Amino acid sequence: MPPDPREALLASYAQRASETAGRARPEREHPFRSCYQRDRDRIVHGTSFRRLDGKTQVFLNGTGDHYRTRLTHTIEVASISRTVARALGLNEDLAEAIALAHDLGHPPFGHAGEETLDLLMKDHGGFDHNAQSLRVVELLEESYPQQRGLNLSFEVLEGLRKHDRELPHPDGSNYPSPSLEAQVADVADEIAYYGHDLEDGLASGLLQEEELSPLELWRESEERAHLESGGLLKDSGARTRRKFIIRCLINREVEDLVATSRASIAAAGISSVMEVRCHPRRLVGYSSELKSRTSALRRHLYTRFYKHPEVGNANDEACRQMESVFTAILADTSKLGDRSFSRLENEPTPRVVADYVAGMTDRYLRDCFEELS
């Protein structure tokens, strides 16, 4: 591929496609798409990506037409990632590819489903959706006759390992921090998760605006919304009002993230990608003031929304169904799909069953439960 003129616009500490550490299986370069553009396309065209539309974010899939799914959440994370990456002079394509792949390993029924699978797999290595996302792109996706997985670039895989304390480089060395693009995708996930879950909570009626008024971040966002709307906010409908306030809230977080991260990078004297990787702490993050305010919002959501009986009871029943399906398939592996069944020769049965169940949509798992019952 000829040099991309857009790379000249990137900051010195941005990851350039021309300087990629490559793929596990070398491939010929594409004439006009960078390796990260190709990775993004491979992820979007994958089966696991499409299944995200049938997986729970907070409310079980099918509960309401307007509630977010794991897919809409992923698209929102990718959008925020591109915005922040561009503002910091980073590689937007890489940040977007990481964001689009970050939840591919999420099982049905959201975090409650993940906790259930982790418990079912406690004697077999456990289950973690971050590690499962790596398994999906490295092993489980079947798009190429010459390889298993998607053969993604090293830097995208690094972004999916973002929570590891030590990250391995192809040259055999280890380092503490991932690329800035991976750090951006990680914080963008948090911004999208809590901001948009807040919107869904208000839309459902399980959260009320009045109970949010003690939160500084909400009050500040409400005041900003009044100013930006020219005073029209008070006369708008409830749906428009809450959407506009949350728009201001997310914008506030993004602006703080960009300004704080830019200052942190400058203060650390970072001038190259390897300096980013060798830096002992993450450089992309909020100011201490906003970090405190977002933490208060997060605590409120966990206490008043995620653990609300209407959410929790539905999740409990769904997870009992997941446990029943997992146990039944583990006892009789003939119930596995053909492709999963063929992997039993080389991999432990519990892991193959966990892969199979984690790949299900909410509806497919419920259908399996009905069939087995």
> At residue 184, what is the residue type?
V
Q: Quote the pLDDT of residue 300.
A: 92
Question: pLDDT tens across 138-180, in order?
Answer: 999 988 877 889 999 999 999 999 888 889 888 888 999 999 9
For residue 144, the SS3 value is: strand
Whole-number Å distance between alpha carbons of 220 and 156: 36
Task: Tell me the mean pLDDT in the region 64-69.
Answer: 70
Q: Quote the pLDDT of residue 305.
A: 83
Q: Quote the pLDDT of residue 337.
A: 83
Question: pLDDT tens across 42-52, in order?
Answer: 999 999 999 99
Task: Tell me the mean pLDDT in the region 343-349.
Answer: 93
Task: Tell me the mean pLDDT in the region 182-204.
Answer: 92
Q: How confident is the model at residue 74 (pLDDT cuts 50, 70, 90)?
A: very high
- Provide the percentage of residues in the chain whose pLDDT is more than 70: 97
Choose among 163, 170, 191: nearest CA to 297.
Answer: 191
Residue with tokens 């990078």, as numbered in its chain: 265
- Provide the percentage of residues in the chain whose pLDDT is more than 90: 71
Bigger pLDDT: 337 vs 36: 36
pLDDT value at 62 more than 60: no
Number of H helices, E strands in the chain: 17, 2
Q: Quote the pLDDT of residue 286.
A: 97
Q: Quote the pLDDT of residue 186.
A: 97
Q: How confident is the model at residue 64 (pLDDT cuts 50, 70, 90)?
A: low
Q: Quote the pLDDT of residue 219.
A: 94
Whole-number Å distance between alpha carbons of 110 and 106: 7
CA count, 13 A, side-chain hemisphere, 228:
15
pLDDT value at 364 more than 80: yes
Contacts of 253 (CB under 8 A, 6+ apart): 191, 195, 286, 290, 294
The CATH number of the structural domain formed by 5-372 is 1.10.3210.10
Whole-number Å distance between alpha carbons of 352 and 368: 17
Question: pLDDT tens across 267-322, in order?
Answer: 999 999 999 999 999 999 999 999 999 999 999 998 888 788 877 777 888 899 99
The alpha carbon dihedral of 301, 303, 309, 312 has a sign of positive
For the chain, give the mean pLDDT: 92
Question: pLDDT tens across 201-236, in order?
Answer: 898 888 999 999 999 999 999 999 999 998 888 878
Q: Is 175 exposed, middle or buried (0-12, 13-18, 19+ CB in 10 A)?
A: middle
Q: Quote the pLDDT of residue 172.
A: 81
Q: How confident is the model at residue 65 (pLDDT cuts 50, 70, 90)?
A: low
pLDDT value at 111 more than 90: no
Task: Tell me the mean pLDDT in the region 255-275.
Answer: 97
Q: How confident is the model at residue 59 (pLDDT cuts 50, 70, 90)?
A: low
Task: Tell me the mean pLDDT in the region 96-100.
Answer: 98
pLDDT value at 5 more than 90: no
